[in-house]
Amino acid sequence: MSDFAASAVPLTGGYGGQTFAVSAGDEDAVIKFYARDPERAAVDAALLELVRGLLPVPRVLDLKRDGSYDDPPYLLTERLPGINLQVFLESATDEQRRRVGTQLGELLARLSGMPFLKAGMFRDGELTVEPFGSGDLAEYVAGLKLDLGAGFAAVIDEAEDLLADGVSRFCLVHSDFNPKNLLVDPETARITGLIDWEFAHVGSPYADLGNLLRFSEDQVLAGAVLDALRGMGLGERLVDLGRAADLWALLDLAERAAEHEVAAAAFVLVSRMADTGTLAGGRPALDVVH
């Protein structure tokens, strides 16, 4: 591990500061250390093996399962080609954004088609699922350190009604499916990587869509994503269902508003939802037929 650290260059992605570009033999690689959640190293390695060939994920080169805070477990993977999708979209043309959106919809469809029997967190390299608690949204909101006011009760009711009428099965959820965790070839607009699986779990088929569209105002990109997803048997109100499934994660993020700018943006959005009494919270309509 010391050889890796000597040539390590910090990479963006996530907020843990534990991921570095390194040199492993004759190829570029990425090493991630798991000082704060040592059991997750084996989980992430198993997930990458599970979806390899179905999703654009890196090969696992090495895994250290055990360790301490000072000498933590790590996962070494190949470094995929491409640039950060968030950066690419800043100057992408409409046609490039459509091309990317279609691919994102296809990736979401593949994720939603990887079934599990129960929702919960992965706890080991065998991908054992530890079930979540009651799953009651009102109970979850009551336990948060957020003063959302009486208006948020209508948001909870809307989310619960939507999900009660949606698909009830469970699937693999990346849980951080957004441009900062995707790579793209800038010449061809081809998606080359879906990275940072540290929050992956089993949950709703709509959760990753909700994460992707959480702060989106890009109707070209969103329209292409939704067009690719239609006909998959996930229901008609895809944006609303995504927002409903994303609500748990959005609230968790909002509770940490002081930690970074994305969490602060989540708090602003949740506050608008409480003020309007709607899941949309003033966000633009994205669920239109193209």
Instruction: Report the Cα 19 to chain-centroid distance in Å.
Output: 17
More confident residue, 273 or 10: 273
Query: How much of the chain, in percent, has pLDDT values that exceed 70?
Result: 92
Is the pLDDT at 98 greater than 70? The verdict is yes
Full residue range of the structural domain in which residue 91 is found: 83-276
| Within-domain flag for 268 | yes
Q: Among 63, 78, 93, where does a domain finish?
A: 78
Task: Give the model confidence (pLDDT) of 114-126 as tens digits.
Answer: 999 999 999 999 9
Total number of domains in the chain: 2
Same domain flag for 67 and 145: no
Same domain flag for 67 and 102: no
Reported residue count of the chain is: 290
Same domain flag for 188 and 224: yes
Is the pLDDT at 5 greater than 60? The verdict is no
Same domain flag for 74 and 127: no
| Within-domain flag for 290 | no
What is the secondary structure of 169-211 as a DSSP string?
-EEEE-S--SGGGEEEETTTTEEEEE---TT-EEE-TTHHHHH
Task: Give the model confidence (pLDDT) of 209-232 as tens digits.
Answer: 999 999 999 999 999 999 999 977
CA distance 88 to 64: 33
Same domain flag for 146 and 202: yes
Q: Among 56, 78, 100, where does a domain finish?
A: 78
| Within-domain flag for 288 | no
- Model confidence, pTM: 0.92
CA distances from 44 to 15, 103, 105, 210, 262 (A): 17, 23, 23, 22, 24
| Within-domain flag for 286 | no
Same domain flag for 95 and 215: yes
Same domain flag for 30 and 101: no
CA distance 84 to 76: 20
Q: What CATH code is carried by the domain that includes residue 96? A: 3.90.1200.10
Same domain flag for 167 and 23: no
More confident residue, 104 or 168: 104
Q: Among 53, 78, 103, where does a domain finish?
A: 78
CA distance 47 to 10: 23
Same domain flag for 38 and 123: no
Beta strand residue intervals within the chain, DSSP E: 9-10, 19-24, 27-33, 60-64, 74-78, 83-84, 115-116, 120-122, 129-131, 170-173, 182-185, 190-194, 201-203
- The tokens describing 258, both together, are 């002081």
| Within-domain flag for 289 | no
Give pLDDT, residue 244: 96
Same domain flag for 132 and 59: no
What mean pLDDT do residues 79-101 have?
97
Q: What CATH code is carried by the domain that includes residue 29? A: 3.30.200.20
What mean pLDDT do residues 199-203 have?
97
Same domain flag for 58 and 100: no
Same domain flag for 143 and 188: yes
Give the range among 135-139, 175-179, 252-256 with minimum mean pLDDT. Answer: 135-139
Is the pLDDT at 17 greater than 50? The verdict is no
| Within-domain flag for 281 | no
